[in-house]
Structure 1
Amino acid sequence: MKQHLPLDPYNSIGHPLYQLNESIQRLQEEHVLLKIKLVELYGMAKAIGLNEDAINWIGVLRDLKRKATVFKRELEAHSKWEEEHMFPLITWYFGEEMDQFTLMEQEHELAKQYFNAYFEAVERNSQPVKGPEAHEMASYLLQAFTLLNHHPESVKDC
């Protein structure tokens, strides 16, 4: 007769601890991917306005806007998942609402405002944009980077 080992309820797919472990893994993976894209955007934004020979930066600004729009959309999806799925699991595990969540949500919102300010600045300009003005416009993305770069990268930071 085949002997069955008792099921470990903590390794059961429906158990909250299993869900928490899976969610922590997803959180860490998404943070790594978002960080890579954020650093790429930062490098592009930092370089805007530095080449004094460039007469018009509007093409570069628009290209960066397209890439930043994709990143913002991914960030919003990640934020929504954190708020709807991850934060409730952590609250369940620790048994209380953590103040860190409020700070993280505020950072996300402020970063989105910086992205939007950049998008609006680029859209307002249809004529040639010189280096100093382009650099000033890109500074919105640099502010978003500063906020998100210090964003907690794992649950251990909560």
Structure 2
Amino acid sequence: MGENDHVRLEEGGGFASMLATEAVHYLPGTIAAEAFDEHGLGGRDTRRPYDDGALTLGHHGDEGIHVAWLKSGEWLAYETEVDGAGVYELTARVAAAPAYGGGSFRVDCDGVDVGTVAFEPTDHWYDFRAVRIRVRLAAGERTLKIVAEEGGWSLDRITIERPA
């Protein structure tokens, strides 16, 4: 992939299957957005005018790959091992072109809503900025989901740390 290229990931196969890690992400730590174990459309309309419902990965220069143009209702799931129960700070690197407004996402842990964050647009699709939310997580093996509440934005990575 060249700088600022995109590739479509069809549900259930091909390149998407190669990316699905099925590995445990240890927290605290950083998870690349494209290292999801599973993704879904949340039971909503799967057609998009620009790519027919496929999940899209983008490449942004030297910084790597991101999940592009998340649609409302889409989600990315990550299998995690949380070091200890408590409050954590989740930092997500997001980008959203001004013409699309900002966005918002919900964080689910084992199917339980642990917080929602909204953000303003960035300067362009490849201008990633950090947004933060504090979430309470239980220790042990947990499925963490990032659910696009208001779509039209891209996700580069999430970092989960104990607050300072």
Task: Name the TM-score, length of structure 2 as normaliser.
Answer: 0.25
Higher relative contact order (CA 8 A, sep 6+): 1
Structure 1 or 2: larger helix share? 1
